[in-house]
Amino acid sequence: MAIFKGAGVAIVTPFTQNNEVDYEKLGELIEYQIAKGTDSIVICGTTGEASTLTHEEHLECIRYTANKVAKRIPVIAGTGSNCTDTAIYLSKEAQGYGADALLVVTPYYNKATQKGLIAHFTAVAEAVTIPIILYNVPGRTGCNILPQTVAALVMNVKNIVGIKEASGNIAQVAEIMQLTEGKIDLYSGCDEMVVPVMSLGGIGVISVLSNIAPKETHDIAMKFLEGDFVGSRDLQLKLLPLINALFCEVNPIPVKKALNLMGFQVGGLRMPLTEMESANAERLVNEMNAVGFKTV
């Protein structure tokens, strides 16, 4: 059974004026997401600025989220690292805190061979019992999981059950589904490609867009799953200019700006990320207004 179907929000990590994690605000964002129909909370992913959280903050965000959600929808914890031992440590702790599944990114910077990727993901999976979703985002990690490697992992490691595919390569997505015989929970990792990925057997998206448009992102996925392909496609295309604006600078710079423009007051970013350029911010405001998102 799939961990979730539909739209999982790759939720931001809000910060106070002192640049500390704002847990009260995180709780507000979680409640907003659940009220708007989000199908899963993904905590401490790329959008959550996990790379600049201390291990203590990282684990506390997972613990807090699991407790706040209280099994109303699945909580998926980002626990990947470029160090296998660290990924194992974070994964075991997240399971202990009550996470329903893990999102484990490919090792970054030091990267790995395909043999190394199999060893890495297998070691993490064997250290826990909850399901694991592989996270392939070579544009950020410099490391691509080849379809043959995905198939080897899914076919041979019981609790590796899914993949968040953010390579942007639809041919690679197709090959993954062919080699795994469809025995994988496929999630789009690109908001602009939800419909194309679902047309190949995907069951949803792990989304940046969901932070500001949870209902609409849920609807793109669920309309497709319910057979309303035209409605799903039309909503995808309607939101495409906004999606493009959300990625006109490196994620999560624009989406945090968007949330602040909507009045959520999620704070700033941790360096080396910096505030959005004024011209790009204007573009973001225009695209938000164009689809009915009021800005303050």
| DSSP annotation string for 201-249 | T--EEEESGGGT-HHHHHHHHHHHHTT-HHHHHHHHHHHHHHHHHHTSS
Active site residue 257: no
pLDDT at 194: 98
User: 56 to each of 50, 149, 156, how far by Cα in Å?
Assistant: 11, 32, 33
Q: Annotated catalytic residue: which of 64, 68, 97, 135?
A: 135
Q: How confident is the model at residue 1 (pLDDT cuts 50, 70, 90)?
A: confident
What would the pLDDT profile of 221-273 be if each residue is shown by its tens digit? 999 999 999 999 999 999 999 999 999 999 999 999 999 999 999 999 999 99
pLDDT at 296: 84
CATH code of the domain occupying 6-228: 3.20.20.70
Span 278-288, mean pLDDT? 98
What would the pLDDT profile of 127-155 be if each residue is shown by its tens digit? 999 999 999 999 999 999 999 999 999 99
Q: Annotated catalytic residue: which of 25, 164, 223, 257?
A: 164
Span 175-203, mean pLDDT? 98
Active site residue 89: no
pLDDT at 260: 98
Q: How confident is the model at residue 294 (pLDDT cuts 50, 70, 90)?
A: confident
* Domain assignments of the chain as residue spans, ordered by start: 6-228
Span 155-180, mean pLDDT? 98
Q: State pTM to two decimals.
A: 0.97
